[in-house]
Homo-oligomer: A and B are copies of this chain.
Amino acid sequence: MDEITVTAPATVSNVVCGFDCLGFALERPRDRFTLRRIPEKVVRIINKDGFGLPVDPERNIAGVTLVAMLEDSGVDHGFEFESDKRIKPGSGIGSSAASACGAAVAANELLGRRYSQDQLIEFALAGEMLASSARHADNVAPCILGGFTLVRSTDPLDIVLLDHPDLFAAVLHPQIEVRTSEARDLLPKTISLSSAVPAWANLGAFVAGLSAGDYGLIGRSMVDEIVEPARRFLIPLFDELKRASLDSGAIGGGISGSGPSVFMLSRDRPTAERVAKEMRNLYAAGGIEFNTYISAISSEGVRIEK
């Protein structure tokens, strides 16, 4: 096989009560990448999308991932990576993870599937580091594996695929850029132990709620008194979005990743559609461009298209 096309899903990380460890995959949007084997031992990036990402492989997330895989595998060829991204960089729904994971899975196919999923996550993490300068797999894990994931540990890598009931996300992506590294600078370096206790209790309860299919518990557990207060001002009308969504039947939600996207979970698609409509109504009055997405939690991660 000399060429392969894959699509990689957008992902929602943090999920309010699981900062740096929880994440889930969306059905859409998905990035589209084609990877070709080339005789030169280099990585060549071709951007077919209009995002103007660097073509220098050392400054490109997919490029870093591919260079690492070529080096590790010791093969005698290179890769041409054709990028047709649909997930806008800096959107907070895992654009960089999609690049890294799409590249990793595509390369693994062209390298004869020599790597395990955990190894692919490791390679993608190396790529992700370029975007966030932190080693955290909360977007990468669901992007590769699909579903709802909890990163128990990155060193050693220990990913838990969580049971969950039907859940539908309404995502609003305001077209303002929030850099992951800058959103990270807003975070407190230390927190009081007394504020950490409710944070871990909420995450434990959230996982219990997911596994029992208890929507009420899932909703009550989606509380974050640590990260959300530091970042919510980045997102215009954040409180109003949340209020209107909950009033429309959403279970809970908040900032997706480091923002600016906002996600709200609902128990069925009609509710998610109603929530998305409320979000659109709120933003329609302002001068900010935005997209909305409605999606189930996708059991599919990176998908091989042809």
Distance in Å: Cβ of A227 to nearest Cβ of chain B: 8
A75 at the B interface (CB under 8 A): no
Stretch at the interface among A18-26, A235-243, A253-261: A18-26
Q: Which of A101-109, A148-156, A169-177 contacts B (4 or more CB under 8 A)?
A: A148-156
Asked if A226 CB lies within 8 Å of chain B CBs, one says: yes
Q: What distance in Å separates the Cβ of A161 from its nearest Cβ neighbour in chain B? A: 9
Instruction: Let me know if B208 and A150 touch, CB within 8 A.
Output: yes
- Is A4 close to B, CB under 8 A? no
Query: By the criterion CB–CB under 8 Å, are B193 and A226 in contact?
Result: yes
Q: Does A188 contact B (CB under 8 A)?
A: yes
Copies in the complex: 2
Q: Is the CB of A189 within 8 A of B193?
A: yes
Instruction: Judge whether B226 and A21 touch: CB under 8 Å.
Output: no
Docked CA distance A206–B102 (Å): 30
Partner of A196, one of B150, B160, B199, B212: B199
Q: Determine if A249 is an interface residue (Cβ-Cβ < 8 Å).
A: no
In angstroms, how far is the closest chain B Cβ from the Cβ of A221? 6
The 3 tightest CB contacts between A and B, nearest first, are A152-B205, A200-B200, A211-B211
